[in-house]
Amino acid sequence: MRVLFFDSGMGGLTVMAAVKARCPQLEYAYLFDNAAFPYGDKSEDFLIDRVDLLLKEGYSRLKPDLIVVACNTASTVVLPVLRHDLPVPIVGVVPAIKPAAKLSRRGIIGLLATPGTVKRAYTDHLIAQFAADVKVLRLGTTELVEEAERKLQGQTVNMKRLTAVLKPWTDLQEDLKPDMAVLGCTHFPLLKDEIGQILGQKCTLIDSGDAIARRVESLLDINHQSAVDGSVVKNQEKSSPCCVFCTKEDGSLPARELMLKSWGISKIEVLSIRAKLKNQA
């Protein structure tokens, strides 16, 4: 069974790694939209048209059994259209607000996400439904997304820039600081150590990777499959390489390929889109 992961950039790899750890027997494919990166400041209409078209193309080329939209920003708006247009289960990524609200002892949680995600109605509903009795501090940033991309191209993370972004929380009086920080962008687990250093040990960082892995496992009925044919053991031995596609040839691909070796990935191909992308970035 093949699963296709989608994101604007490298962030979705953090979700793919969580799914892979739980379901090593699957085949993995990854598509990222570097031509329109970053998604955090794009309009809803732009994201809906673009992601729908890209994933229709990705589906027809790769024939996955399931698609993970490993991008919170896109997931806040595109899921209904994708579920209407594609014949396979679509799993979206939701910021881990529910577990964070449950685990917070202080009753103050922070949501660190892209500017798009923090302001969307989808996020308002999530907070109203699962975090009505805690205080939620929202912090929208594209700078951390860019830093995460730089890190995965082998560049040094700019700690000064990270510190400045997180200042609204670090400047707060001790008892008003969040004790749980939701990494509501799939790029942010790539900076977990750096963000943790700045926010300090009293703040626990939480992301959605493992929840997505459990969802994929249950939708594909993997435990049942494995029990029937022993496929986990068989396939773990010959785990297939992940094919990676992007939407634009750019100078960063060799550096990315080098960094992705440690993720078990060796080659990035450009996916040629047959239909015309509206609102091309």
Chain contacts with ligand DGL (rule: CB under 6 A): 7-9, 11, 37-40, 71-73, 114, 117, 142, 145, 185-187
Q: Is 52 exposed, middle or buried (0-12, 13-18, 19+ CB in 10 A)?
A: middle
Judged by beta carbon, residue 114 or residue 123, the one nearer ligand DGL is: 114
In angstroms, rounded to a whole number, what is the distance separating the alpha carbons of residues 72 and 279?
21
**In the complex, minimum distance from the CB of residue 19 to ligand DGL, in angstroms, rounded to a whole number:** 15
**In the complex, minimum distance from the CB of residue 188 to ligand DGL, in angstroms, rounded to a whole number:** 8
Judged by beta carbon, residue 9 or residue 64, the one nearer ligand DGL is: 9
Judged by beta carbon, residue 148 or residue 222, the one nearer ligand DGL is: 148
**In the complex, minimum distance from the CB of residue 11 to ligand DGL, in angstroms, rounded to a whole number:** 3
Say whether 71 is catalytic: yes
Judged by beta carbon, residue 37 or residue 130, the one nearer ligand DGL is: 37
Name, in order, each residue with C-beta under 8 angstroms of 25's C-beta and a sequence gap of 6 or more: 222, 226, 231, 232, 234, 235, 236, 239
Q: Select from 224, 223, 277 the least CA-distant residue to 247.
A: 277
Judged by beta carbon, residue 37 or residue 169, the one nearer ligand DGL is: 37
**In the complex, minimum distance from the CB of residue 189 to ligand DGL, in angstroms, rounded to a whole number:** 10
Judged by beta carbon, residue 72 or residue 235, the one nearer ligand DGL is: 72
Kindly write down the DSSP assignment for every residue of 103-130, as one continuous string.
H-SSSEEEEEE-HHHHHSHHHHHHHHHH
In angstroms, rounded to a whole number, what is the distance separating the alpha carbons of residues 113 and 72?
8
Q: Select from 138, 187, 156, 184 the least CA-distant residue to 37.
A: 187
Which residue among the candidates 185, 203, 242, 246 is catalytic per the annotation? Answer: 185
What are the helix (H) ranges across the chain?
Answer: 12-22, 44-62, 72-85, 97-103, 115-119, 121-130, 143-151, 159-170, 192-199, 209-219, 222-229, 231-237, 253-260
**In the complex, minimum distance from the CB of residue 225 to ligand DGL, in angstroms, rounded to a whole number:** 29
Say whether 246 is catalytic: no
Q: Select from 17, 3, 4, 70 the least CA-distant residue to 39.
A: 70
In angstroms, rounded to a whole number, what is the distance separating the alpha carbons of residues 44 and 74?
8
Which residue among the candidates 23, 71, 203, 242 is catalytic per the annotation? Answer: 71
Which residues does the annotation mark as catalytic?
71, 185
